[in-house]
Structure 1
Amino acid sequence: MREIPDWVELLFSLTSLIFAVQLALIFLLSSRYSDPSTNVIPLSPSAKGFKTAAVVPVYGEDENVFERVIAKLTKLFDRVIVVGDGVSEPYRSIALAHGAEFYSVPRSGKRGALEYGVSLLRDEKYVALVDSDTEVPDETYWKSLAVLESGYDALTVRIMYKGDNLTARAQDFLGYYNDVLNRAFARLGKVYVLNGQFSVYRAEKLREIIAGLSSRKLLGRLIVVGDDKELTSRAHRAGLRLAYLSSAEAVTYGAGSLITAIKQLLRWTRSGYLYLFLDLVSLNYRRGFLYYIAGVVSVLYPIFGALVTALGLTYPHHHQMLIHLNDPFLWLVREWTKELLAITVGLPNEPRLFVVFVHERFVNNLTLLIAKALKLAADLLTALATLGFVMQVLPKAREDPKGAVVSLGLLGIQGLLSIYSLITLYRVSSWLTRDQEPEKRSE
């Protein structure tokens, strides 16, 4: 009878344990996070003493949403630079009506629009990169500037999602999971990602790291996806001092449908893997050990999980109940069914008595003994870390239980997308320059 190779079981158990350790580390680090804004002197308009700018790339945004965003930004920033990515009206008229500047460039993607907008900076000390559908509250603006004035070079904030449909509410709930992850990285002086929706930089530092952003190539093709991940990687490599403000938020519009949300998740997952591999190849050690642990586990866990599951359904091991402690009942049902089939149709029959296979297949097999011990430790540690996460997001779950349930579904979908992304990563040239169709969103 064919069985799951022992080394596969062992590697999966080891990966499970590393995954559990990573979860526990994230929980413990996030619990010890200290928001940088609590230790700085608040700023006010009268005491600012420097200029700020916002660069806003736009392509296909709903004009009502765009107008609300620009109207708010022009009240906060000294200068608002809107760059149309191959588009002009109605965005030009809206921007000019609210006192913003508007420039149109040939269609080249968000990277080109960002790089062009930053090239127009003059004597501004700080510059924010803002999505055309992201609203920035007054408190976030002033808090961000105060933190940068304390010595940081760039920062990002918590992203909240706006919308009444279940998909948008689920995305908003996922923001709480991301907040836990970001707080853990911030505890180590790192940033997981400088969000593309809203991040603020010291202008001189941004000029240095954004140079050549729109001309970055891989396999001979321009990279369009993952502009925020590219800037994050460059910021770490340049040794910039980065911050994450959990107490400040920017509000963006959630996906209008589940299909749109899944496409976003697939795009983000692919670009995440792409930049993980690029960081590994370039030896960008400044990203920190937690980034690489989380990244490598995110690659190995789906692969070995899918492999063990697939093999377990077709060629189950005698010791499956010992390794997979979460489904002993299903294991017994499967084994008893096979016994009945063996009796009725004359299939090859092997001893299935518990004492026999424990003695022959487990006690005398060091590989399986180690695998079982690792899997047990992983299960226990994962359970404890998960409980900690649940306690942190429980207040939000009580406010919106339906959104919480759907967000768990999105997490499950993201797990499947991880496998799909890894399988199709070799076709990277086919999605590096994805066609960007305008997604019209309304309030």
Structure 2
Amino acid sequence: MNHMHLFLLIVIVGSVFSVISTIFYIVNSYRSVHYRQSMNDNLYGPGDITIIVPVYKENPDFFDKVLSAVQSQGANVIVVGDGCTYPYSDIAARHSFMFLATPQRGGKRKALSLAMHYVQTQFVMFVDSDTILPPNAVKDLLSSFTDDVGGVGANLRIIEDGRVLSYASEFVERSREVILKAMNHNGHVMILDGGAAIYRTEIVKPFILSGEFYDYKVLGRKSVAGDDRQLTSHVIRSGYKAIKNYNVNVSTPSQKTLSSYYRQQVRWARNGWYYFFKDLFGGTAKKAGAFYTFELIYVYLLPIFFLGLSLTEVYFFLFTHHDSYYRFAFSHDFLYFLTTLFTLGFLRFTRFATTLVNGVSLLVFGAAIRNNMARNRLKTFAYGSVGLIIMFIATLHGLVTFWKQGSWLTR
């Protein structure tokens, strides 16, 4: 294959990817902006649900605020210490909550599994120890349940405290919101965030009590991450819908340092890549439908395509702008030289046109992200690039180390 054929291939692949990207950005933006949350008659109340709050190394004062918000929901609550008791047992006692503790630290899965033995209600809710529920969160989430819905998650918002990382994290979350809102139309999202989600007990209890969940392994190695992704996938494979209620906005702080934020992104990326392959070949994507599959493939392959096309574009630019290439073309004959100039010009125009269209669709996608922001839009956009760059690097890092899921990395 000579250089011209290689460039032609690069342009074709790049143009096709640009067209697919344009479709992705426009469709997701349209669906997100026109999304309207459906609410049903409240058939269920606080007495139909048990809230489980696992805890490990959480700031005691913040954890007290979390439990105060949980208490306001009026539901039965179980607090589980992951190999720890004090001071969390005392805080739970102040709120009159049941407190359990695993004998030693075994990860969030072991904590959830222990608490599930005590759940007798129709629904169970998992709330992270750093997530604050708004008033009536349980009531509003329960209103999204119909006979075909197996799990409902809340919308996650980052507490903006003036730090760059808080704005960067919020930008990433609002970008995810565009995609997940679009997927919500079809009744299946990729993940119900572990921060706050409700499930039908009959669907998840047997699964959580099984070794497949609490002794979860990736390629034979014990994994402590990805419980929320695994539960979401289980709900879909069981024939139920997994949706989000965007009227319920829960709050959580961002990571404190750049290194911990990066480690968090790597942890999510490793788990995400594993479930990318598992969803594709394990039946979840097929069960969820064509749109779910399209979103899954594009979201995970985007960083790889972007990196590959960026490198080939650099090569294309450097080679075709080198004088020796034109001297070589002219040395053959004048017709060959003109053909070379015309071909290169056509290829450049094609790439420019598709890139321009793709750029316009990106602006539309950016407008959809802006539509999801409640405040500090300028700062969130300005610092959002930091979050995207870190996420891009972490995604590639996670791909080449996806089997290393034995550590939480940020605790």
Report Cα offsets for 1:308-336 as digits up to 9, x if no partner: 33344346476x6xxxxxxxxxxxxxx2x
Equivalent position of 1:11 in the other structure: 13
Report Cα offsets for 1:13-38 as digits up to 9, x if no partner: 3233222222222112223322022x
Shift of 1:276: 0.6
Shift of 1:379: 4.0
Aligned counterparts of 2:157 and 2:349: Cα–Cα separation in 1: 41
Q: SS at the partner of 2:143?
A: helix
Aligned counterparts of 2:337 and 2:86: Cα–Cα separation in 1: 73
Shift of 1:394: 5.4
Question: Does the 8 Å contact 2:51/2:125 carry over to 1?
Answer: yes
Question: Does the 8 Å contact 1:58/1:83 carry over to 2?
Answer: yes
Aligned counterparts of 1:31 and 1:60: Cα–Cα separation in 2: 39
Q: SS at the partner of 2:50?
A: strand
Equivalent position of 2:64 in the other structure: 67
Aligned counterparts of 2:236 and 2:351: Cα–Cα separation in 1: 34
Equivalent position of 1:57 in the other structure: 54
- 2:199 aligns with one of 188, 198, 201: 201
Shift of 1:198: 0.4
Aligned counterparts of 1:306 and 1:49: Cα–Cα separation in 2: 49
Aligned counterparts of 1:437 and 1:242: Cα–Cα separation in 2: 27
Equivalent position of 2:254 in the other structure: 254
* Paired AA for residue 179 in structure 1: E
Question: Does the 8 Å contact 2:52/2:125 carry over to 1?
Answer: yes
Equivalent position of 1:263 in the other structure: 263
Shift of 1:397: 8.0
1:360 aligns with 2:340: yes
Aligned counterparts of 2:46 and 2:374: Cα–Cα separation in 1: 42
Equivalent position of 1:323 in the other structure: none
Q: TM-score, normalised by structure 2?
A: 0.86
* Paired AA for residue 291 in structure 1: Y
- 1:413 aligns with one of 379, 387, 390: 390
**1:43-442, aligned counterparts within 5 Å?**
48=45, 50-105=47-102, 106-122=104-120, 124-148=121-145, 152-164=149-161, 165-210=163-208, 211=210, 212-284=212-284, 285-314=286-315, 316=317, 335=321, 338-339=322-323, 349-351=327-329, 359-360=339-340, 363=343, 373=350, 376-377=353-354, 379-390=356-367, 393=370, 396=373, 399-422=376-399, 424-425=400-401, 428-429=402-403, 431-436=404-409, 438=411
Percent sequence identity is 23
Question: Does the 8 Å contact 2:52/2:80 carry over to 1?
Answer: yes
Equivalent position of 1:23 in the other structure: 25
Shift of 1:121: 0.6
* Paired AA for residue 406 in structure 2: T
CA 1:375–1:274: 2 relative to 1, 3 Å:
farther
Q: SS at the partner of 2:280?
A: helix
Shift of 1:398: 6.5
* Paired AA for residue 87 in structure 1: C
CA 1:396–1:169: 2 relative to 1, 3 Å:
same
Moved more, 269-278 or 17-26: 17-26
* Paired AA for residue 76 in structure 2: R
Q: SS at the partner of 1:134?
A: coil
Question: Does the 8 Å contact 2:51/2:124 carry over to 1?
Answer: yes
Question: Does the 8 Å contact 2:33/2:368 carry over to 1?
Answer: no
Shift of 1:151: 6.0
Equivalent position of 1:329 in the other structure: none
What count of residue pairs does the alignment treat as equivalent? 402
Aligned counterparts of 2:230 and 2:294: Cα–Cα separation in 1: 19
Question: Does the 8 Å contact 1:13/1:372 carry over to 2?
Answer: no
* Paired AA for residue 237 in structure 1: R
Question: Does the 8 Å contact 1:269/1:417 carry over to 2?
Answer: yes
CA 1:21–1:359: 2 relative to 1, 3 Å:
same
Shift of 1:435: 5.0
Report Cα offsets for 1:48-76 as digits up to 9, x if no partner: 48432111111111111111111221232
Q: SS at the partner of 1:204?
A: helix
Aligned counterparts of 1:151 and 1:287: Cα–Cα separation in 2: 13
Shift of 1:194: 0.7
Q: SS at the partner of 2:244?
A: strand
CA 1:8–1:118: 2 relative to 1, 3 Å:
farther
Q: SS at the partner of 1:135?
A: coil
Aligned counterparts of 1:30 and 1:291: Cα–Cα separation in 2: 15
Aligned counterparts of 1:251 and 1:63: Cα–Cα separation in 2: 17
Q: SS at the partner of 2:184?
A: helix
Aligned counterparts of 1:99 and 1:401: Cα–Cα separation in 2: 43
- Structure 2 gap ranges (5+): none
Moved more, 276-285 or 192-201: 276-285
Report Cα offsets for 1:215-236 as digits up to 9, x if no partner: 2222211222211111111111
Aligned counterparts of 1:290 and 1:363: Cα–Cα separation in 2: 37
Q: SS at the partner of 2:328?
A: coil
RMSD value over aligned CA atoms?
3.2
Q: SS at the partner of 1:434?
A: coil
Aligned counterparts of 2:257 and 2:91: Cα–Cα separation in 1: 27
Question: Does the 8 Å contact 1:32/1:187 carry over to 2?
Answer: no
Shift of 1:103: 1.0
Aligned counterparts of 1:419 and 1:379: Cα–Cα separation in 2: 26
Shift of 1:249: 0.9
